[in-house]
Amino acid sequence: MKGLFRFNGGVKPASNKDVSTQQPIASLPLPEVLVIPLHQNVGGTPRPLVAPGDHVLKGQRIGTADGNPSTAVHASTSGTVLAVAMRCMPHPSGLDALCIVLEPDGRDEWIEHHPFDYRTATLAQTRNYLRDAGIVGIGGESFPSHLDTLVINGAESEPFITCDDMLMRERAAQILRGTTIMRDVLAARRVLIGIEDNKPEAIAAMTDAANRLGDPAVTVVVIPTIYPSGSAELLIRVLTGIEVPHGKCQTDYGVLCFGVSTAYAIHEAIDLGQPLISRIVTVTGNVETARNIDVRIGTSMNHLVAQARPRPDSDRLIMGGPMTGLQMPNRDVPVVKATTAVLVGSPTLFPPPPPEMPCIRCGDCVTACPADLQPFELYRFAQAKLFAEAKDYHLFDCIECGGCAYVCPSHIPLVDYYRFAKSEIRTREHDKKCADEARERFEFRQFREEREKLERAAKLAARSAVGRDAATATGMPEPVLAQLDDAKRALITAALNRVASPRQAVVPDNTEGLTTAPRADG
């Protein structure tokens, strides 16, 4: 094994992964209703293709990609569309977004589907095919034609989450197949599959599958277990030593990173023709039987969690892990393509944090920060709403891993402050952009009005000049012109008189044989 690269900082929280790896991946009975959000990707919201009352088949496209980057959405099972309506999203805001509500018919009948021959297709065709198969997480619009290193992320450093671990243990061959497809499509020189050393079974399964594949370009690399090496930026850094700055594409540096679940979804889409309609989700935390479940997109989290039998004191659901997860507004939000885990929380498992104390500038957060930032300075700026300064201190390089808040002796929810500052800065930049566009349009309107005024004046001047020229050219004396005008005026008067002349003067046709009553009407 060649040398790995290091990043500074990182933390080692208790992994809590063993509880959910004891049992194989289970499947879930069909729920009574599926709520499939249309917007599950970065970029534009897909447009709905179905109307209430339509019958759809499993894998049928129900939302089409609108613009680039955007991805299609598919029916997770066969059934009837109940509504295309606003439903609560799995997002801390608890706001609604457009969803397709589907009532399964229980037959689970597939739409006709065929494998895709990517070898004869062009790069753009393959990309559009994957977009229409609803694959998310392959880097949006940046889809390079050649690549140095393809990084497959099997690190999964977040505590509690084991969905990638179980997927690698049980479906290593399929993941390798998806990886090979992507390597061929992107013409990557080498493929590095990064797995943390706390997953020996997954490493064994993946190494075995890679050996059977017999491709020297594909290597399984075991990396040390340090949170957050599972983040794409840091995994690329550990495996290749390349640091991708914020705002730049990975592909500008010849690397591209995506997860093992994406590789698996690519295999299903290309080799089987099946779009992304389900994913592996870890259900863990305050439950009796923590495990991984193959869940259809759109299944309510409540239905999913019920399979793992939550303990009675459970009080909240967290999507993701304890470090970066988002608390859900209620239990009925759907599972989406980005749901890796549903963590059931309780006051004993996650006790409320101790009261926030003042920052003592101890510097522990600086030591822990894997992005080489100064978290306490960022905190100071975010707290004082000094957004320009926070940006100068590279706030947007923060990957929100939560390492700083984890080590903070004053229990400051640092990541919450960064999220606040980031969304505030994004809103302001958006407003600024809108204002600049409005200024441009206002100035153009003024320019146009000015131009129209000039054009009108020029036309008027030209017309009067032509009139004068004509008068002099024909050599008609002024009185003749006046006479001409008089002649015209006479014509107009005659026409007016004709119109105004009394109706009685005109003899109505075909009225001889009529009785008196209609004639009176006429």
Residues that bind another protein (CB under 8 A): 39, 89, 91-93, 95, 97, 355-356, 413, 416-417, 419-420, 422-424, 427, 431, 434-439, 441-446
Contact yes or no for 246/396 (Cβ under 8 A): yes
Tokens representing residue 382 in the block: 């975010």
Rg, the chain, Cα only = 35
Nearer to another protein by C-beta: 389 or 424?
424
β strands within 176-285, DSSP E: 188-196, 218-223, 255-259, 278-285
The two three-digit tokens of residue 94, written as one number: 């608890």
Shortest Å distance, C-beta 93 to another protein: 4
**Min separation Cβ 59 and another protein, Å:** 26
d(CA 132, CA 41): 12
Give the closest residue to 139 by CA, choosing from 120, 168, 130: 130
Q: Are strands 341-345 and 278-285 parallel, antiparallel or unpaired?
A: parallel
Is 286 in a helix, a strand, or coil? coil
* Cα gap 217→213, rounded to integer Å: 10
User: How near is the Cβ of 94 to another protein at its closest, in Å?
Assistant: 9
Nearest to 284 by CA among 378, 425, 161: 161
SS3 of residue 4 by DSSP: coil
Enter the DSSP assignment of 450: H
What minimum distance in Å lies between the beta carbon of 387 and another protein?
12
Yes or no: say if 156 and 241 are a contact pair by the CB < 8 Å rule: no
Residue 393 has phi, psi (to 5 degrees) of -90, 20
394: left (phi over 0), alpha (psi -120 to 50) or beta: left
- Of 39 and 296, the one with the shorter C-beta distance to another protein is 39
Q: How far is the CB of 410 from another protein (least distance, A)?
A: 11
Q: Which is nearer to another protein, 434 or 484 (CB)?
A: 434
Q: How far is the CB of 40 from another protein (least distance, A)?
A: 11
- The terminus-to-terminus CA distance of the chain in angstroms comes to 108
- Tell me whether residue 176 or residue 297 sits nearer to another protein (CB atom): 297
C-beta of 45: minimal distance to another protein in Å? 8
Structure tokens at 371: 């992005």
How far, in whole angstroms, is CA 237 from its chain's centroid? 25
- Kindly tell me which of 89 and 263 has the beta carbon lying closer to another protein: 89
CA 121 to chain centre: 26
**Cβ of residue 310: shortest distance to another protein, in angstroms?**
26
- In this structure, are residues 261 and 279 in contact, taking their beta carbons and an 8 Å threshold? yes
Give 436 or 469: the residue with its C-beta nearer to another protein: 436
Q: How far is the CB of 416 from another protein (least distance, A)?
A: 4
Decide the pairing of beta strands 291-296 and 26-27. parallel
In whole angstroms, give the CA distance from residue 88 to residue 331. 10
At its nearest, how many Å lie between another protein and the CB of residue 388? 11
Instruction: Give whichever of 361 and 441 is closer to another protein, judged by the CB atom.
Output: 441
Can you say how many angstroms the Cα of residue 306 is from the centroid of all Cα atoms in its chain? 28
- Tell me how far, at minimum, the Cβ of 25 lies from another protein, in Å: 30
Is the CB of 241 or the CB of 444 nearer to another protein? 444
For 390, the token pair is 């926070």
Nearer to another protein, 67 or 92 (CB): 92
Task: Choose between 203 and 365: whose C-beta lies nearer to another protein.
Answer: 365
Amino acid identity, position 407? V
Least distance from another protein to the Cβ atom of residue 428, Å: 9
The three-state secondary structure class of 131 is helix
**Between 124 and 357, whose beta carbon lies closer to another protein?**
357
Query: Which lies closer to another protein via its Cβ, residue 311 or residue 428?
Result: 428
What is the DSSP track for 88-130?
Answer: E-SSTT--EEEEEEEEE-S--PBPP-----TTTS-HHHHHHHH
The CB-of-160 to another protein minimum distance in angstroms stands at 23
State which residue, 313 or 440, has the beta carbon closest to another protein. Answer: 440
Tokens 């606003």 belong to 86
